[in-house]
Amino acid sequence: MIFEQLFDTKSSTYTYIISSGKGREALIIDPVIEHTNEYIKILKNLDLKLVKVIDTHIHADHITALNELNKRTNCTRIMGEKSKSEVIDLRIKDGETIKVENIEIKSIYTPGHTDCSYCYLMNDRVFTGDTLLINGTGRTDFQSGSPYDAYDSLFNRLLKLPEKTLVFPAHDYNGEKNSTIENEKNNNPRLQVSSKEEYVEIMDNLNLEDPKMMDVAVSANLKGLTLNQIWVETILHLFFK
Ligand SMILES: [Fe+2]
C-alpha cells in the first residue's frame, strides 16, 4: 500500500495520499490548495490516478485543494452529509464505506469541533480530522461546534475503537506524526476527565484567538473555490471593498 503523510507548515495540516499500489487509483484526505502542484507531481511519479478526495470538515485555517484537484483530475469530492459546502459531489452518511479498489474507508460522524466533522477508519488506522489531535482535541467555539457533542464523539465513538488503532490527525503543532487510541486514552490531557461537564468546562475556557485566515478560508471552502476563482475574488475585494 502507498501511504504518504504530507505536511503544510503554514497551517500545520497533515494531508494523506493513499493507494493500494503503484499504477493504481488513489485517494487524498485533507489537501491544502497551495500544495496542489506537489500532489499532482507525487501522483504522476507514482503513476497514480486520483479518483477521490475527502475533507474531514470545513477547514477554518486553510483553503482546501478539493476543488482545484477536482478541476485538474476530475476526482470525486467527498464530505460527510452534514457538510455545508456548495460543491461536494458525494455526501457520505455515518457508517457508510468509501471504496478505492480494495481499500475501504468507513465514515464516523463525529460532531463537536464543527457540526460537519467526520473521521475515517481504514483498517488499522483512523483519520481523526480535528476531532482528536495528538495530546489535544479540536476547539469547539466556532463553526457550530459543541463541546457536548465533542465529548460524545470522543468518548462514545473514537475511544471505543480498538486500542491499537493508529491515530492520524489533520494537524499537529509539535512534530508528532501519529499516535494510537490507547496512547490518547491514557495520556491526552483533554481526555483525562471524569464527566462530560468537566470536558465542557475545559473547552469553554480555552479563550483561543480565531485562526488568521478564518473568514477567507471558511468562505472559500463553503463556495468550493479553485485557484483562479480565489484570485478573482481577491482582486474584486481589493478594488471594491
Ligand atoms: Fe478544523
User: 60 C-alpha vs ligand 1 centroid, how far in Å?
Assistant: 6
| Residue for grid cell 485562526 | 211
Q: Who's near 238: CB < 8 A, 6+ residues apart?
A: none
User: 232 C-alpha vs ligand 1 centroid, how far in Å?
Assistant: 25
Strand order across the 118-122 sheet: 97-100, 103-109, 118-122, 125-129, 166-169, 179-180
Specify the pLDDT at position 227.
Answer: 92
For 155-184, write each residue's pLDDT tens digit: 999 999 999 999 999 999 999 999 999 999
User: 142 C-alpha vs ligand 1 centroid, how far in Å?
Assistant: 10
Specify the pLDDT at position 228.
Answer: 93
- pLDDT mean over 45-69: 97
CA distances from 98 to 12, 64, 192, 216, 224 (A): 26, 20, 33, 30, 21
Q: How far is CA 237 from the centre of its chain?
A: 28
- pLDDT mean over 34-62: 97
User: 23 C-alpha vs ligand 1 centroid, how far in Å?
Assistant: 32
8 A C-beta contact, residue 129 and residue 170: yes
Q: Model-level pTM? A: 0.96
Average pLDDT, the chain: 96
Specify the pLDDT at position 236.
Answer: 84
User: 182 C-alpha vs ligand 1 centroid, how far in Å?
Assistant: 23
Specify the pLDDT at position 109.
Answer: 98
